[in-house]
């Protein structure tokens, strides 16, 4: 009976000393007060009354740091709150080296953030969050490493500047937007002027090319016309040219303005004019002699085409030209 009781007690003790450790946990075993290391995962045996186990969670967790009032290098007071993400990498040190990991991490985080932000100006704090997060992570990781912890990330959630600074920032942002709007408007006007000038330049180039082509075609037409005129003038005699000159002078004289025109070939023209005047005078004298002969003889005769030809001589018995009509009567 006593044997069965002893066996039953041993079985109960063994069963009570069996621990099933999950994958994300480790059990730190203390044997008679001395740390003998971490065990797990899986089924682990902890001797009752001799060994004691402490569970440690290896999963990554976050710690929310409440809003902290910090003063920047340019004496601006700001409120900052952020999050710390960390995990245990050495379960034995996390149990042996620190009493309250979360409390210790929160305390060291408040001092580190004040030290880091105190070396920066307000503009740097507002514009360089990423670099501040990296610096905070490095500073906290250097402290928590001896606790068997690893700070994986630090994220600043909110930075609240004082009201006066916020008002100044709003004015600055409004001025910056006005400046950008004016710059954009000026750039648009500049582009418009450039495009208009480019269009005018292209228009002038095209117009000049058109005028050049027109002048070339006109010159070719004038050259062809002058060639035809020259070829036609080669077959015209001097009289025809003189008549053309007379017509041109007549057209110039019909103008209402007073003009004195001296042709280039004035002497040859005067010579032609003299010859034509002599011919006209001779022709008029021949017509007058023919008319006198008709009146004196009383008969119609056809004038000779040559004005200088004398009339035919009468017979000796016909009498003189003065008595001719009487004898006829």
Does the predicted TM-score (pTM) go above 0.75? no
Q: Which of the 8 DSSP states describes residue 147?
A: G
Percent of the chain with pLDDT over 70: 76
CATH H-level superfamily of 61-161? Band 7 domain (3.30.479.30)
Residues 241-262 have pLDDT tens digits of: 667 766 776 776 676 665 566 6
Residue 306 clears pLDDT 80, i.e. is over it:
no
Residue 264: strand, helix, or coil: coil
Residue 324 clears pLDDT 80, i.e. is over it:
no
Percent of the chain with pLDDT over 90: 31
Q: Which residue, 153, 181, 4, is CA-closest to 82?
A: 153
Other Cβ atoms less than 10 A from the Cβ of 153: the count is 14
Residue 220 clears pLDDT 70, i.e. is over it:
yes
Contacts of 94 (CB under 8 A, 6+ apart): 56, 88, 101, 147, 148, 149
**Where does the pLDDT of residue 239 fall: very low under 50, low under 70, confident under 90, or very high at 90 and above?**
low
Residue 328 clears pLDDT 50, i.e. is over it:
no
pLDDT at 323: 37
Long-range pairs, 160-168, Cβ under 8 A, ≥24: 160/67, 160/78, 160/79, 160/80, 161/76, 161/78, 161/122, 161/126, 162/76, 162/77, 162/78, 165/76, 165/122
Average pLDDT value over all residues in the chain? 80
Please state, in angstroms and rounded to a whole number, the distance separating the CA atoms of residues 161 and 75. Answer: 11
Residue 275 clears pLDDT 50, i.e. is over it:
yes
> Domain segments of the chain: what residues?
2-57, 61-161
**Where does the pLDDT of residue 296 fall: very low under 50, low under 70, confident under 90, or very high at 90 and above?**
very low
Residues 23-38 have pLDDT tens digits of: 999 999 999 989 999 9
Please state, in angstroms and rounded to a whole number, the distance separating the CA atoms of residues 114 and 69. Answer: 8
Contact at 8 Å (CB) between 143 and 108?
yes
Residue 203: strand, helix, or coil: helix
Residues 80-129 have pLDDT tens digits of: 999 999 999 999 999 999 988 889 999 999 999 999 999 999 889 988 99
Mean pLDDT, rounded, for 165-178: 86
pLDDT at 59: 93
Q: In the numeric block, which tokens belong to residue 279?
A: 């011919």
Please state, in angstroms and rounded to a whole number, the distance separating the CA atoms of residues 78 and 58. Answer: 35
Contact at 8 Å (CB) between 84 and 154?
yes
Q: Which residue, 16, 35, 34, 14, is CA-closest to 26?
A: 35
End-to-end Cα, the chain, rounded Å: 218
pLDDT at 94: 92
Mean pLDDT, rounded, for 262-270: 63
User: Which range among 56-65, 167-176, 228-237 has the greatest average pLDDT?
Assistant: 56-65
Q: Which residue, 294, 281, 283, is CA-closest to 321?
A: 294
pLDDT at 132: 93
Mean pLDDT, rounded, for 38-66: 90
Q: Which residue, 162, 165, 151, is CA-closest to 70?
A: 162
* Conformational region of residue 156, where left means phi above 0, alpha means psi within -120 to 50, and beta covers everything else: beta
From residue 114, how far is each of 137, 160, 255 by CA, in Å? 14, 14, 106
Structure-token match 């002038």, residue found:
204
């Amino acid at each position: 009976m006593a044997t069965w009781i002893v066996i039953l007690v041993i079985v109960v003790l063994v069963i009570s000393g069996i621990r099933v450790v999950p994958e994300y946990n480790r059990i730190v075993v203390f044997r008679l007060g001395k740390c003998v290391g971490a065990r797990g995962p899986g089924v682990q045996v902890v001797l009752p009354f001799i060994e004691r186990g402490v569970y440690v969670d290896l999963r990554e967790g976050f710690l929310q740091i409440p809003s902290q009032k910090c003063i920047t290098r340019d004496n601006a007071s700001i409120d900052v709150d952020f999050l710390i993400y960390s995990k245990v990498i050495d379960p034995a040190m996390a149990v042996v080296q620190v009493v309250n990991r979360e409390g210790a991490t929160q305390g060291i985080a408040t001092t580190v953030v004040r030290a880091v932000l105190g070396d920066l100006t307000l503009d740097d704090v507002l514009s360089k969050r990423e670099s501040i997060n990296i610096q905070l992570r490095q500073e906290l990781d250097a402290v928590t490493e001896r606790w068997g912890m690893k700070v994986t990330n630090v994220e600043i959630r909110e930075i609240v500047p004082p009201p006066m600074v916020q008002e100044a920032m709003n004015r600055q942002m409004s001025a910056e937007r006005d400046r950008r709007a004016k710059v954009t408007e000026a750039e648009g006007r500049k582009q418009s002027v450039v495009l208009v000038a480019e269009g005018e330049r292209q228009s002038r180039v095209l117009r000049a090319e058109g005028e050049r082509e027109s002048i070339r075609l006109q010159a070719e037409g004038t050259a062809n016309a002058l060639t035809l005129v020259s070829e036609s003038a080669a077959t015209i005699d001097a009289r025809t040219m003189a008549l053309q000159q007379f017509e041109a002078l007549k057209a110039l004289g019909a103008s209402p303005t007073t003009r004195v025109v001296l042709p280039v070939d004035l002497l040859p023209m005067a010579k032609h004019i003299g010859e034509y005047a002599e011919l006209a005078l001779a022709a008029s004298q021949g017509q007058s002699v023919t008319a006198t002969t008709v009146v004196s003889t009383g008969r119609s005769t056809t004038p000779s085409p040559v004005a200088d030809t004398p009339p035919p001589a009468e017979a000796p018995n016909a009498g003189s030209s003065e008595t001719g009509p009487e004898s006829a009567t």
